């Protein structure tokens, strides 16, 4: 087992996750089986209770783990299926150690950060690294470990110490330390500045870790003098100074790393397995796309696109497969509602009407819901392609109940507990006292109820599909019969046949909504079927 530890310095947002995933792609191109572990030094047990507004999207895994969005990067780049243990947090490690202490496992010893927390971190890494995370059924050969945060933070210190010790536990030759830093460009001639990198490497070395490879984020490729200077001051060979400069799309990143000899620096050689050729094709295909498709994304955190990262990626995968250049128009759902300033309202509606298709993504809480219901109504009554995910399905059902069944004031009990005719209700099995990890989570089967429907055809005619879930509410099962009689068909249900999973309108170009989150399983080159349906319909192309 070879471990590649990726740490970051200077500031956050340098694309450490993309760099680490891209290194993983190169390892796969060298013929190795890869897995990954993301370390998040916060005290939350998992990302499930964190606001997407603060922390970006909560990524959901097959096993129901609610994890950091970087695990999405790894799954997409490396085509993995990770588990909750691949995201190590301070909350998880401390809980484990404190539980062991309560059991009496430490036999009277004083329990301390060093060695008990650091040992627990090392044990965790070693165990998880050996777990199979793809469909080979075999143990991985390389484990990419991404350390969240910035080296020097108080909260990441125990991890840096654990990783320092880890090189002796598994052998120095089996660990490669990659440090990601920033090279800012200053002044009229665009001078590349090395001092921030010198400082962060000094900090890392002070903590006992000598980087083997420096990855420098910069706007343009590093010039030879910058590279030489960084090598001299940061104690690495020149060929181990790699630049990640701006590129037109992220598929270029693995190619850019390989072009600078990263595999050779790691003592490896790219194998003729065609993987990098696929990436090259995708990178250039994306650059060359001409015809546009515009999707209005009607959401709540629209000024923070990380909150919908996987939805964006899934739209991109689908657009690439449909040969369209994707434009996402972010619409703040609340601006479609009555009662906002006239010009804001008019502008929001103008943009909604200009879009080729409408997507209402998942969400929690009352804000913006009425705007989402209006968007679903507009799409349904005007034949505009609509795709609803999770809350996007629930608002489509509410809209139909109100405007077709005449159930005025119907909503979800999430927004009005005493609503007289709720179209969406709280699921009976969900905890009412604990928020963390208590939703209907993870991969569950959906069984198609009819043969002749768009979504089943998009999924290639399978009888059932496994997709990932994250919700507390569902379409009121008592209402399903009436909704169906009025023309809204529930083409997919769970294995009990009671719970609604997929709905569609038969006599509409594309009015589809799913209770699950198909965005989490979309892959470049293998787009999620209902996303592909939206893009095909929105760009006037035939559906399968
Ligand atoms: N808030 C809704 C529920 O809990 C929708 C959740 C979601 O969109 N992920 O069911």
Which of 47, 391, 429, 437 maximizes ligand 1 atoms within 8 Å of its Cβ, making it the mutation to test the pocket? 391
3-state class of 293 per DSSP? strand
Which letter, b or e, does each residue of 497-518 get, where b requires 16 or more Cβ atoms within 10 Å of its Cβ? eebbbbbbbeebbbbbbbbbbb
Spatial CA neighbour of 282 closest among 327, 245, 313: 313
> pLDDT (tens digit, 9 = 90+) per residue, 452-471?
999 999 999 999 999 999 99
* Spacing, Cα 439 to ligand 1 middle (Å): 9
Distance CA 11, CA 313 (A): 25
Per DSSP, 501 falls in state E
Q: Please choose, from the candidates 194, 190, 172, 166, the residue with its C-alpha nearest in 3D space to the C-alpha of residue 182.
A: 194
> What's the angle, vertex CA 497, arms to CA 496 and CA 501, rounded to 5?
105
Ligand 1 centroid – CA 391 distance (Å): 5
Most informative mutation of 435, 472, 474 for ligand 1 (most atoms within 8 A of CB): 472
Ligand 1, atom 1, residue with closest C-alpha:
364
> By alpha-carbon position, which residue is closest to atom 7 of ligand 1?
362
Q: H/E element holding 3?
A: strand 2-8
Report how far apart, in Å, the C-alpha atoms of 492 and of each of 373, 387, 505, 517 are. Answer: 22, 15, 13, 14
- Which residues, 6 or more positions from 385, have their beta carbon under 8 angstroms from its beta carbon? 356, 357, 358, 379, 509, 510, 511, 534, 537, 538
* pLDDT (mean) for 416-440: 85
The 10s digit of each residue's pLDDT in 123-162 is 999 999 999 999 899 999 999 999 998 999 999 999 999 9
b/e per residue 209-244 (b: at least 16 CB within 10 A): bebbbbbbbbeebbeeebbebbbeebebeeebbbbb
Cα 535 to ligand 1 centre (Å):
24
Listed in sequence order, the DSSP H helices in 490-541 are 529-538
pLDDT category, 304, cuts 50, 70, 90? low
Euclidean distance between the first and the last CA atom of the chain, given in angstroms as a whole number: 44
Alpha helix positions (H), 179-327: 195-206, 224-234, 252-259, 262-265, 275-288, 309-321
pLDDT at position 21 is 96
Q: Does residue 439 carry a pLDDT above 90?
A: no
- Please identify every residue annotated as catalytic: 390, 517, 519
Report, as an integer, the average pLDDT of 384-395: 97
Residue 360 pLDDT level (bands cut at 50, 70, 90): very high
What does the pLDDT read at residue 144? 97
Query: What was the pLDDT predicted at 171?
Result: 96
Which structure tokens are listed for 95? 């809980």
Q: Taking 80 as the threshold, does the pLDDT of residue 435 lie above it?
A: no
Give the contacts of 201 (CB within 8 A, at least 6 positions apart): 9, 179, 181, 211, 214, 233, 234, 235
Sign of CA dihedral 278, 283, 284, 289: positive
Residue 14 has pLDDT above 90, yes or no: no
Which burial class, exposed, middle or buried, applies to 321 when counting CB atoms under 10 A from its CB (0-12, 13-18, 19+)?
A: middle
**What is the percentage of the chain residues whose pLDDT exceeds 70?**
99
Query: Is the confidence at residue 256, as pLDDT, over 80?
Result: yes
pLDDT over 80 (residue 397): yes
Q: Report d(CA 441, CA 58) in Å as an integer.
A: 12
Measured in angstroms, how far is the CA atom of residue 455 from the centroid of ligand 1?
Answer: 21
Q: Which atom of ligand 1 is nearest to the CA of 424?
A: 10
Question: How many A from CA of 442 to the centre of ligand 1?
Answer: 13
Ligand 1 atom closest to residue 517's alpha carbon, by position in its atom list: 9
Instruction: Report the pLDDT value the prediction gives residue 50, as an integer from 0 to 100.
Output: 83
What residues does ligand 1 touch, defined as CB less than 6 Å away? 362-364, 390-391, 414, 470-473
What is the DSSP secondary structure assignment for residue 542, as one 8-state letter? Answer: P
The predicted-structure confidence for 65-123, as pLDDT tens digits, reads as follows: 999 999 999 999 999 999 999 999 999 999 999 999 999 999 999 999 999 999 999 99
- For residue 283, which of 246, 249, 311 has the smallest C-alpha distance? 249
Phi and psi at residue 349, to the nearest 5°: -65, -35
Helix/strand/coil for 503: strand
For residue 436, pLDDT beyond 80: no
pLDDT reading at 333 higher than 80:
yes
The CA-atom distances, in angstroms, between 88 and each of 43, 120, 380 are 11, 11, 43
Residue appearing with tokens 């090259």:
280
Question: What does the pLDDT look like over 157-216, one tens digit per residue?
Answer: 999 999 999 999 999 999 999 999 999 999 888 899 999 999 999 999 999 999 999 999
Measure the CA–CA gap between 68 and 86, rounded to whole angstroms.
10
Q: Which two tokens stand for residue 519?
A: 């965005």
pLDDT for residue 303 = 62
Sequence-separated (6 or more) residues with CB below 8 Å from residue 226: 183, 192, 194
Instruction: Give the nearest ligand 1 atom to 364 CA.
Output: 1
Atom of ligand 1 nearest to the CA of 439: 4
Predicted local confidence at residue 544, as pLDDT: 92
DSSP 8-state symbol, 422: -
Q: Which of 294, 278, 325, 318 is nearest to 528 (CA)?
A: 318
The pLDDT of residue 302 is: 59
Task: For Cα atoms 241, 273, 250, give the angle at the middle one, nearest 5 degrees.
Answer: 45
């Amino acid at each position: 087992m070879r471990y590649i530890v990726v740490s970051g310095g200077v500031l956050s947002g340098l694309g450490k996750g993309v760099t680490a995933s891209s290194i993983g792609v190169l390892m796969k191109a060298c013929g190795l089986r890869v897995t990954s572990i993301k370390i998040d030094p916060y005290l939350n047990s998992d990302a499930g209770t964190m606001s997407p507004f603060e922390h970006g999207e909560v990524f959901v895994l097959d096993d129901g783990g609610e994890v950091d969005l970087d695990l999405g990067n790894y799954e997409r780049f490396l085509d993995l299926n990770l588990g909750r243990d691949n995201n190590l947090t301070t909350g998880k490690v401390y809980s484990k150690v404190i539980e062991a202490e309560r059991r009496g496992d430490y036999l009277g010893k004083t329990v301390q950060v060093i060695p008990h927390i650091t040992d627990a971190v090392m044990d965790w890494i070693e165990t998880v690294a050996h777990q199979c995370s793809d469909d080979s059924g075999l143990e991985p050969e390389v484990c990419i470990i991404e350390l969240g945060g910035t080296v020097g933070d108080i909260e990441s210190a125990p991890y840096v110490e654990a990783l320092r010790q880890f090189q002796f536990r598994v052998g120095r030759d089996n660990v490669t330390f990659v440090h990601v830093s920033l090279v800012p460009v200053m002044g009229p001639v665009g001078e590349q500045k090395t001092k921030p990198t010198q400082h962060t490497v000094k900090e890392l070395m002070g903590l006992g870790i000598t980087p083997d490879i420096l990855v420098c984020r910069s706007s343009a490729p590093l010039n030879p003098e910058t590279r030489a200077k960084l090598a001299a001051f940061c104690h690495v060979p020149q060929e181990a100074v790699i630049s990640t400069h701006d590129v037109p799309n992220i598929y270029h990143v693995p190619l850019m790393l390989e072009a600078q000899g990263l595999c050779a620096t790691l003592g490896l050689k790219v194998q003729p397995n065609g993987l990098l050729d696929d990436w090259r094709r995708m990178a250039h295909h994306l650059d060359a796309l001409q015809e546009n498709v515009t999707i209005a994304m009607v959401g709540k955190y629209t000024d923070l696109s990380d909150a919908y990262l996987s939805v964006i990626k899934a739209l991109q995968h689908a657009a690439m497969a449909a040969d369209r250049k994707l434009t996402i128009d972010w619409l703040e759902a609340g601006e479609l509602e009555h009662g906002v300033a006239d010009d804001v309202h008019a502008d929001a509606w103008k943009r909604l009407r200009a879009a080729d298709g409408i997507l209402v993504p998942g969400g929690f809480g009352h804000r913006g819901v009425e705007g989402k219901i209006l968007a679903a109504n507009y799409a349904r009554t005007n034949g505009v392609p609509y795709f609803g995910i999770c809350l996007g399905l629930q608002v489509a059902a509410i809209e139909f109940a109100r405007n077709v069944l005449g159930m005025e004031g119907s909503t979800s009990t999430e927004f009005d507990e005493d609503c007289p005719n709720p179209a969406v209700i709280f699921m009976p099995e969900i905890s009412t006292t604990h928020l963390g990890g208590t939703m209907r989570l993870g991969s569950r089967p959906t069984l198609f109820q009819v043969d002749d429907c768009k979504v089943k055809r998009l999924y290639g005619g399978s009888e059932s599909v496994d997709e990932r879930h994250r919700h507390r509410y569902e379409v009121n099962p008592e209402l399903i019969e009436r909704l169906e009689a009025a023309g809204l068909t529930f083409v997919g249900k769970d294995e009990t046949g009671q719970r609604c999973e997929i709905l569609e309108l038969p006599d509409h170009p594309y009015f589809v909504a799913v209770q699950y989150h198909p965005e989490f399983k979309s892959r470049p080159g293998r787009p999620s079927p209902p996303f592909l349906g939206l893009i095909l319909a929105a760009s006037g192309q035939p559906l399968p």
